[in-house]
C-alpha cells in the first residue's frame, strides 16, 4: 500500500511492476540483471482518487498517461532493483500529490488609469523624439 496523504492511499492491486534490463553503465551487471522498473498505476479505475484529482493527474502526467487510463513511470537511475522500485513509487506519489493540490484560479486584472496614461505619454514622447530625427 502506497500512502499519498491522510485521505489518499493507493492499494497494491492498482500498481503493477515490470522489470527490464537497464541501459547505460553497470558493467557485467547490465547484461544479466533486470534492474530497470516500469511502474504502472491504473489511475482511471482507482476508487481512491476523486474525479478532479484524476483530471489534474492526466494533465500533469502528459506522455506518461496511456490510452487506457494508466500512468507509466520508468526508472533506471541506479544499478539496484529495490532502489529503482523505491524511486518509481516516490515519483508516482509526488505526481499524485501535485494533482491533489488545487491550483488557485487566476483573476484577470485591468491596468489602472494612471498606468495607461503614463504608457501613452511615454509613447507620445518617444514619437516626438523620433520625429525630430527626420529631415525637415
Q: pLDDT tens for residues 30-47?
A: 677 788 899 999 888 888
Q: What is the mean pLDDT of residues 93-97?
A: 90
Cell representation of residue 122: 511615454
CA gap 82, 98 in Å, rounded: 25
Q: Are 60 and 99 in contact (CB under 8 A)?
A: yes
Q: What is the mean pLDDT of residues 75-103?
A: 89
Mean residue pLDDT across the chain: 87
Q: What is the mean pLDDT of residues 16-42?
A: 80
At residue 19, does pLDDT exceed 80?
yes
Q: How confident is the model at residue 128 (pLDDT cuts 50, 70, 90)?
A: very high
Task: Please report, for residues 33, 45, 46, 89, 90, the alpha-carbon distance to residue 10 in angstroms, rounded to integers and kept in the order given.
Answer: 28, 11, 8, 11, 12
Listed residue (102, 87, 43) closest to 68, CA to CA: 43
Give 35: exposed, middle or buried? Use CB within 10 Å, 0-12, 13-18, 19+. Answer: buried
Q: What pTM did the predictor assign?
A: 0.72
Question: pLDDT tens-digit profile of 50-85?
Answer: 899 899 999 998 899 999 889 999 988 888 888 998
Cell representation of residue 114: 494612471
Amino acid at each position: 500500500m502506497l500512502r499519498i496523504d491522510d485521505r489518499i492511499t493507493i492499494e497494491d492491486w492498482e500498481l503493477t511492476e515490470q522489470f527490464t534490463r537497464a541501459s547505460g553503465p553497470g558493467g557485467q551487471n547490465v547484461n544479466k540483471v533486470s534492474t530497470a522498473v516500469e511502474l504502472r498505476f491504473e489511475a482511471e479505475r482507482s476508487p481512491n482518487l476523486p474525479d478532479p484529482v484524476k483530471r489534474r493527474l492526466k494533465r500533469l502526467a502528459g506522455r506518461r498517461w496511456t490510452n487506457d487510463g494508466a500512468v507509466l513511470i520508468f526508472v533506471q537511475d541506479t544499478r539496484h532493483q529495490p532502489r529503482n522500485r523505491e524511486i518509481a513509487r516516490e515519483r508516482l506519489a509526488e505526481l499524485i500529490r501535485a494533482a491533489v493540490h488545487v491550483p488557485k484560479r487566476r483573476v484577470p486584472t485591468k491596468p489602472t488609469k494612471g498606468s495607461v496614461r503614463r504608457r501613452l505619454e511615454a509613447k507620445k514622447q518617444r514619437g516626438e523624439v523620433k520625429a525630430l530625427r527626420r529631415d525637415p
